[in-house]
A and B are shown apart, each in its own frame.
Chain A
Amino acid sequence: MIRPGEACAAQSCPDGVIQPVTVRLTVNGRFVTRVAGAHFTLLRWLRDAAGVTDPKYGCGEGICGSCTVLVNGAPVSSCVVLAAQLDGASVVTALGLCEPDGSLSLLQRAFHEHHAAQCGFCTPGMLVTAAAMLADGRHRTRDEIRSGLRGNLCRCTGYGPIVDAIEAAQETSQPAAPGAPEAGK
């Protein structure tokens, strides 16, 4: 009954002594330096050390996607990577998707417009995955959007409104050019 990653790391330190390390990350555009246990997952580092709580703990196994953040632009389950391994990286959470004045971004407005959040617990992770989809410039069909969301579970919406929102944001952000480069392929 221990989050697996933490349990393993804690046991590797004799007598419960935890090795503290300094980790420097750019979080949502701001430099953040924290001393925390070497065994801290990125999720725990963000939530407990840096006070950034929009990535959520949902399963601790890298399956549910509630903890998804962008690490150097790529979506990552922050519950299964160690913060210490990422020293110097740039991390973006859902909060970091907002415009500089705090207003909702185009993607977030599409989520708002399409009723894509119910309880809202999966939403930050869902948004980050969606932002990564939009960022690669590839135009996706509905089925491709659904496929791209496989790593983010939602128990409230039935997914349709989320797919609607991403589809709409995709149309607004970049008029789909046929034969647009398929980044990442």
Chain B
Amino acid sequence: MIGGDPAATAEIRTSKENELRIVRQPLPRHDQAEKIAGTTRFAGDLALAHMLHARLVRSPVPSAVITRRDNSAAFAVPGVVGVLFGEDVPHNVIRVDVPGQTLEVAALKATMEVLATDRVRFHGEPVALVVAETEEALAEACELVEIDYAELPGVFDPAMALRDGAPAVHEAGNLLSEWDIDTGDIDAALGEADVLVEGRYETQTLDHAYLEPEAGVGWLDDEGVLNLRVATQVVEHYRDVARILGIPEAKVRVTAPYVGGGFGGKEDMTVEPYLALAVRLTRRPVRMQWTRQESLLARPKRHPMRMRYRTAARRDGTILGQDIEITADAGAYAYLSALVLLYSSVHACGPYKTPAVRLRARCAYTNNPPTSAFRGFGGMQVVFGYESQMDLLARCLGLSPAVIRKQNALSCGDVLPVGQPIATTVQLAETIDAVLVRVGEKPAPTGPRKVIGRGIASNMQSYGRLAWLNDSAAAWVGFQLDGSLSVRCGVPDVGGGQASSLAQIASEVLAVPMDRITVHFGDSTLTPLAGTTTATRQLLMSGNAVYEASVLLRDAILGAVGRQTRQPVDGLRLELEGVTGPDISVSLPDALVTCRRGNVPIESLGTFFGPKGAQAVRQLRSDRVFPDFTFGTHVCDVEVDLDTGQVRLLRYVAAHDVGRAINPRSVAGQISGGVVQGLGMALLEEVVVEEGVNMTAGFFQYLIPTAADVPDIETIVLESGEGMGPFGARGIGEPPIGPPAAAVASAIHDALGRRPTALPITPERVLECASGLNRSAESDQGKAAPY
């Protein structure tokens, strides 16, 4: 088995680098043809005979005691099969702990009811589950479930929630988690600094807005096993379902078909426990399809954060220290908030050497919609903070934004403020140079009341899960007798090419053409568990597991053929034609027969264990928090209309070092998709919540970028060859969403001389910055040197 130490396997991964056949090829992904033909069946596309429909009745108020519940009128509707309340749930507790292949993290202790019984804490909290023969009966019955609420005072701001006397969201108090980092002597750094830059930044509540709303179908199979085929990033939730129903884990199977986008929003359970309850009650197939309105209303969001940065630096631009406070809104239930805030804390100083750090991060319960995982997972909100500071610093000192970043950039061997040394090469400076060369000269404005600005932003983002979660992934690779190959791996494919990359890795090692490989994925019972498709971990984890299994299988076949033909094994190779050596050539089917005759399995199981590190407590200190990091830089040119506040994106160039691009097209797709999602955060998107009431009820209010809102995203893929994934790959799922908001803000700052510090940067906020331009010098925040 491959261990977490990259050095142990580095040799085997790089020795064949020059002869890669399939890896690094920009192949069409193997799942594309069906998706383009329209034949891929997503979770909500499955219909079974005698299938019932299920829907939740949710709280219309953000904070209340439930005083009465009556399901008799709803139950009387013809076609209604069941109306469930919390008392009907065997174990009415969702333990929103770290999902997947891990030990529990005791610090979280986060629970919520499957169906609220006596108290609701946010607008949209599930209170009743209705099951009916038709959607019409369902709709009518949902209206007739009688629930009385006695409203309680709520708290809707995390800072207010932490004050004495604030309404308690939970009995134990409103402070969910806090993390501190104390490294070096921050007071000395602040004292001896030539320049201190202070900034306050606010990010907004965001929705994942994948095009596929939450959906799934559940049924009992012939063995009495509860099957749930759902849109999820985590098939391991079968354990949570088993716990809620009080049945053995072996009696629940969760399968994830191709998922219509996840971005973290399908990491926590969505439809699973409700489908399970409905199937248990009726013993019939049941479908649950959330509406878009329901998805926007009730599924956990991205944490809005308030950040205060004080950055101390020398006159030459060298950073001496960062003094940082972060306050995040967890909403009404914990979900993964504590860990999201941990990510914010560890990433808060960005990809820069920072000798002294004082960080105080707090996350509070409120009666707002809960917040949880979203691409970037807390490591991306802080980019808006630290990159804004870098730009302000450059302006203060009259330095180039590019130079000041390169000057402070981390290198391999540097130690992060949390205590983790950087273990692989850092090509941050290369990404900065690459985007600046590509973007060229600034364009001229298209009109007299229009100004052009350019902004640059770099970031680092971890890939792989926290190093104390005992992460692992397994994969099975086996030949069929005709030489075609089956790969089984529990990875959910959320659209990023997770399964296709595995085929490409197996194809590389075992010399099987892509069209003769089938990847079976996302099945908690029939595929080896590979953990969650989250945390940019699947290429690292399941990629290495498939690599490991493929290498074991290849070596077993070469060994069997070597013994049978009396050839030294190290002279043999597995090629497209079969096993070849100086004196032999054995076709693959013949080699497989040789294996069978020699009692050599033609299949193998590989398990990859993630790198380990000491668990950090509130005072964050660990030799390893994450396996490794991905670095990148973006640059954008914008044109600002001084009369309307409209920001037009003219150019956008993004460069990341991905270690090794298993499939360059998939990598470019991840980057350009992440950038556009980040541009939505920068300019358009916000879930508006007023006094706990979610006012964002549809896509007519939640505006994600259209094709006409964004330019072509120009992607530059650097390959340092030093990641911890197979063939030296780094993860690239989350990293590209980090820089866009900061890059756009810097471009607007460049255009207008004043910096937007709150997201999204609406035309109103742009005009506020532009008013400074009209008032001339007084508001100017310094001037940076040209790039």
List residues of chain A with CB under 8 Å of any chain B CB. Answer: 1-3, 6-7, 10, 16, 18, 37, 47-48, 51, 53-54, 56-61, 63-64, 66, 93-95, 97-98, 102, 104, 108, 111-113, 115-124, 127, 142-143, 145-147, 149-150, 152-163
B292 within 8 A of A: yes
Given contacts A118-B496, A155-B704, contact A59 B673 (CB under 8 A): no
Q: Which of A2, A3, A159 contacts B707 (CB 8 A)?
A: A159
Assuming A51-B47, A118-B669, what are 15 further A-B pairs, CB within 8 angstroms? A1-B294, A6-B136, A10-B140, A37-B136, A53-B45, A61-B292, A63-B698, A104-B36, A111-B36, A120-B35, A121-B260, A122-B211, A123-B36, A150-B708, A157-B672
Question: Which residues in A have their C-beta under 8 angstroms from that of B666?
Answer: 115
Interface centre among B258, B496, B669, by most chain A C-beta atoms within 10 angstroms, is B669
Task: Tell me whether A156 and B32 are in contact (CB under 8 A).
Answer: no
Question: Which residues in A have their C-beta under 8 angstroms from that of B668?
Answer: 115
Q: Which of B42, B77, B212 contacts A16 (CB 8 A)?
A: B77
Docked complex: B37-88 residues within 8 A CB-CB of A: 37-42, 44-45, 47, 55-56, 58, 77-78
Question: Which residues in A have their C-beta under 8 angstroms from that of B45?
Answer: 47, 53
28 contacts between A and B (CB under 8 A): A1-B293, A6-B139, A10-B139, A37-B136, A54-B39, A58-B212, A63-B698, A64-B211, A64-B699, A111-B32, A115-B28, A115-B29, A116-B36, A118-B496, A118-B669, A118-B673, A119-B261, A120-B260, A142-B712, A150-B707, A153-B704, A155-B210, A155-B704, A156-B261, A156-B495, A156-B496, A158-B676, A159-B706
CA distance A118 to B297 in the complex (A): 26
Task: Tell me whether A127 and B36 are in contact (CB under 8 A).
Answer: yes
Docked complex: B70-128 residues within 8 A CB-CB of A: 77-78
A118 nearest CB neighbor, chain B only: B495
- Give B221 Cβ to nearest chain A Cβ, in Å: 22
Interface centre among A97, A98, A150, A156, by most chain B C-beta atoms within 10 angstroms, is A156
CA distance A66 to B497 in the complex (A): 20
CA distance A124 to B45 in the complex (A): 13
> Mostly helix, strand, loop or mixed at chain A's interface?
loop
CA distance A64 to B137 in the complex (A): 27
Per-residue contact bits, chain B 8-29, to A (CB 8 Å; 1 contact, 0 not): 0000000000000000001011
Question: Which residues in B have their C-beta under 8 angstroms from that of A16?
Answer: 77-78, 136-137, 140
CA distance A153 to B208 in the complex (A): 13
- Give A134 Cβ to nearest chain B Cβ, in Å: 15
Q: Which of B78, B211, B699 contacts A119 (CB 8 A)?
A: B211
Question: Which residues in A have their C-beta under 8 angstroms from that of B707?
Answer: 145-147, 149-150, 152, 154, 159, 162-163
Question: Which residues in A have their C-beta under 8 angstroms from that of B675?
Answer: 158
Question: Which residues in A have their C-beta under 8 angstroms from that of B32?
Answer: 111-112, 115, 117, 120
Q: Which of B140, B210, B672, B698 contacts A121 (CB 8 A)?
A: B210
Question: Which residues in B have their C-beta under 8 angstroms from that of A145?
Answer: 707
Question: Which residues in A have their C-beta under 8 angstroms from that of B294?
Answer: 1
Task: Tell me whether A118 and B38 are in contact (CB under 8 A).
Answer: no
- Give B625 Cβ to nearest chain A Cβ, in Å: 29
A1 nearest CB neighbor, chain B only: B294
Question: Which residues in B have their C-beta under 8 angstroms from that of A66?
Answer: 211
Task: Tell me whether A60 and B292 are in contact (CB under 8 A).
Answer: yes
Question: Which residues in B have their C-beta under 8 angstroms from that of A93?
Answer: 38
Question: Which residues in A have their C-beta under 8 angstroms from that of B710?
Answer: 158-159
Per-residue contact bits, chain B 684-709, to A (CB 8 Å; 1 contact, 0 not): 00000000000000111000101110
Question: Which residues in A have their C-beta under 8 angstroms from that of B263?
Answer: 155
- Give A35 Cβ to nearest chain B Cβ, in Å: 14
Task: Tell me whether A10 and B33 are in contact (CB under 8 A).
Answer: no
CA distance A81 to B423 in the complex (A): 57
B494 within 8 A of A: yes
Docked complex: B697-735 residues within 8 A CB-CB of A: 698-700, 704, 706-708, 710, 712-713
Question: Which residues in B have their C-beta under 8 angstroms from that of A10?
Answer: 136, 139-140
Given contacts A56-B42, A58-B211, contact A163 B712 (CB under 8 A): yes
Interface centre among A1, A37, A60, by most chain B C-beta atoms within 10 angstroms, is A1
Question: Which residues in A have their C-beta under 8 angstroms from that of B673?
Answer: 118, 155-158
Question: Which residues in A have their C-beta under 8 angstroms from that of B297?
Answer: 1
Task: Tell me whether B41 and A53 are in contact (CB under 8 A).
Answer: yes
Interface centre among B47, B212, B297, B671, by most chain A C-beta atoms within 10 angstroms, is B212
Task: Tell me whether B58 and A59 are in contact (CB under 8 A).
Answer: no
Per-residue contact bits, chain B 257-295, to A (CB 8 Å; 1 contact, 0 not): 011110100000000000000000000000001011110
- Give A75 Cβ to nearest chain B Cβ, in Å: 14
Q: Which of A48, A95, A97, A120 contacts B31 (CB 8 A)?
A: A120
Task: Tell me whether B35 and A59 are in contact (CB under 8 A).
Answer: no
B157 within 8 A of A: no
Question: Which residues in B have their C-beta under 8 angstroms from that of A111?
Answer: 32, 36
CA distance A158 to B710 in the complex (A): 8
Question: Which residues in B have their C-beta under 8 angstroms from that of A53?
Answer: 41, 45
CA distance A6 to B47 in the complex (A): 19
Given contacts A61-B700, A64-B699, A156-B673, contact A117 B708 (CB under 8 A): no
